[in-house]
Amino acid sequence: MKIAVLGDIHSNLPALEAVLREIKNISPDAVFFTGDAVGYGPWPGETLDLLRETVHAGVLGNHDAAVVGKTDVSDYYDAVRYVINWTIDSLSNEQYGFLDRLKYIHSESEKGSFILSHGSPRMPERYDYVFSSKGVNRLYEVRQFLKGVNFVGHSHYMNLFVMTGDDKSIELNISSKDVSVDYPNPVICVCGSVGQPRDGDNRAGFVTYDTEKKRVQFHRVEYDIEKTIKKIKSLKLPGSFGERLRNGY
């Protein structure tokens, strides 16, 4: 069985549409979502409508949680809070309800065996980042709850880590874009971002996972960045959220 995993869309509809076209070509058995459908971008409702039609299961990102009042945004900077409030006013009851029903963590057993969370699955409601082996090593505290492969988002990077035992882990080389995850210990796959990549590559990112071959593929897809920037400007949303899309930072 093959699945696709995407996240950190951030209301960037052209990026999501481009990714879904690529996913259609791949023809996975199911699509999963690692959170942050909304925030930053100009198409929150349309993004949620597409996700509602497409995903088998997903989790609540920190921007999603902010929109439905499940996380404290007092320490978010002003521009982020502005877009969160604008998003709240933009959503229909059905779109809001879709976000509100998402959980902090999802353990899948029907379409394979894996976990989804937005940030670290150690305390998913805190939205801790997984940037390095240091963050992965904290997962030994919840080792018994992890599965063979565990998908996270939030950082807007693409990484792959394997826990090696004795409270240690290593980062795997993903330059080939197609990597074996056939290990006896848990693997942590950081899935990149559809709508706000921050690793210097401005293309939308997502991953696929072959549950039988135990291989993860990292995908990048070009989309119409200027269309998103133009829409942000037309709605008078913070311009920096559009301009940084060009560089992927």
Task: Supply the DSSP symbol for 59.
Answer: B
The secondary element (H helix, E strand) that includes residue 99 is helix 93-101
Handedness of CA 145, 151, 152, 157 (dihedral sign): positive
Q: Which of 126, 131, 124, 128 is nearest to 107 (CA)?
A: 124
User: Between β-strands 158-165 and 105-108, what pairing exists: parallel, antiparallel or unpaired?
Assistant: unpaired
Average confidence (pLDDT) over 78-94:
98
Average confidence (pLDDT) over 129-137:
96
Per-chain mean pLDDT for the chain: 97
Average confidence (pLDDT) over 28-34:
98
> What does the pLDDT read at residue 22?
98
CA–CA distance, 209 with 41 (Å, rounded to integer): 28
User: Between β-strands 2-6 and 30-33, what pairing exists: parallel, antiparallel or unpaired?
Assistant: parallel
Average confidence (pLDDT) over 86-109:
98
> What does the pLDDT read at residue 234?
98
> What does the pLDDT read at residue 85?
97
CA–CA distance, 115 with 5 (Å, rounded to integer): 11
Q: For residue 169, which phi and psi values (nearest 5 degrees)?
A: -155, 165
CA–CA distance, 10 with 96 (Å, rounded to integer): 15
In the chain, % of residues over pLDDT 90 = 100
pLDDT in tens, 207-232: 999 999 999 999 999 999 999 999 99
Q: Tell me the domain boundaries of the chain.
A: 2-243
> What does the pLDDT read at residue 172?
98
Are residues 86 and 77 in contact, defined by beta-carbon separation less than 8 angstroms? Answer: no
pLDDT in tens, 138-161: 999 999 999 999 999 999 999 999
pLDDT in tens, 174-189: 999 999 999 999 999 9
Indicate the pTM of the whole model. 0.97
pLDDT in tens, 33-43: 999 999 999 99
Q: Domain 2-243: which CATH class?
A: alpha beta
Average confidence (pLDDT) over 162-174:
97
Query: And the tokens for 165?
Result: 């035992």
Q: Which of 214, 213, 104 is nearest to 149 (CA)?
A: 214
Handedness of CA 16, 17, 21, 27 (dihedral sign): positive
> What does the pLDDT read at residue 195?
98
Average confidence (pLDDT) over 23-48:
98
Average confidence (pLDDT) over 18-27:
98
> What does the pLDDT read at residue 42?
98
